[in-house]
Structure 1
């Protein structure tokens, strides 16, 4: 709403209110119903204009995750810093490094919908278009999995991942192999989104956040 239009609405509210009460006064003095009808019309009009003059409440931003297949861990760390205190809505697939949004030490305001699915595997290094393998790569993947993922997950998710064989591309597992955690199993480990989340927030695709760091 432009400033000029807002000023015109304010003037309209004041003018119709003044004339409305003036006609009401004339009705009180003369008893003529015509004045009463005009008073009611003008006062109702002033009420409508006053609502039009109110500023529209801007929706808070929420970053939407749906079909995030993961990528470089540092890129997700940078994205988390950009997101800051905004809401993060997980409404679909969130795999690999995407699950870092659940890290407790990042303190993100994350919620999930019934469509959310989380997929976990161990991190890996990428060199010359292929996964780095070998004894050292496997040891690094194990250490990174524990410090950057497992130990930072909500307690309920840690319990679900405990004792499972987490796929490790560094050890030769396919990159598209995951241990999945469905929304129905998350429970209160992560906050469920409000039912009206799609209408409540101005949704921004989290993948639209640019960091200058490559996908791998």
Structure 2
């Protein structure tokens, strides 16, 4: 293996500056809330950006309450969906059993712009309430600049 002078200079420099990686959300239907809280906390702490470029439903929407809003943007393909928290259907014999405590927890993370949209649209229910890209979504989060 041959090591050049340029490699000797670049190797220490690469260690000094952590790599930045954007999270590209294209088809995220949600999952376990605690996993999303941890994932988004890591993204926030690493000062990474989030690009919503497709579906971001359910627990995915916690991004709005954990990652700074100036680090999140939406593309023309973006849509987000909100609903009440519910227990894993694997443990409830396939029945959707809502959790008022879990729903309150979700709401506590959302910024006022999200809470206002949810209130204006009848609050959280068992049914998914979606916002597609456009002026309604842009009241919550900015469209992505072209360079993103």
TM-score (norm 1): 0.52
Asked whether the equivalents of residues 40 and 67 of structure 2 are also in contact (C-alpha less than 8 Å), the reply is no
Q: 1:100 aligns with which of 62, 77, 91?
A: 62
Q: Does 1:142 align with 2:100?
A: yes
Cα drift, residue 166 of structure 1: 2.7
Say which SS state the counterpart of residue 196 (structure 1) adopts. Answer: coil
Asked whether the equivalents of residues 41 and 67 of structure 2 are also in contact (C-alpha less than 8 Å), the reply is no
Partner of 2:76: 114
Cα drift, residue 115 of structure 1: 1.4
Q: Does 1:178 align with 2:124?
A: no
Cα root mean square deviation, aligned: 2.8
Unmatched 5+ stretches in structure 2? 8-12
Partner of 1:130: 94
Q: 2:37 aligns with which of 70, 77, 82?
A: 77
Partner of 1:209: none
Say which SS state the counterpart of residue 189 (structure 1) adopts. Answer: coil
Q: Relative to total residues, which structure has the larger helix share, 1 or 2?
A: 1
Range that drifts further, 80-89 or 111-120 = 80-89
Partner of 2:142: 191
Say which SS state the counterpart of residue 118 (structure 1) adopts. Answer: strand
Cα drift, residue 3 of structure 1: 4.7
Say which SS state the counterpart of residue 91 (structure 1) adopts. Answer: strand
> What is the total number of aligned residue pairs between the two structures?
131
Say which SS state the counterpart of residue 130 (structure 1) adopts. Answer: coil
Partner of 2:10: none
Partner of 2:125: 167
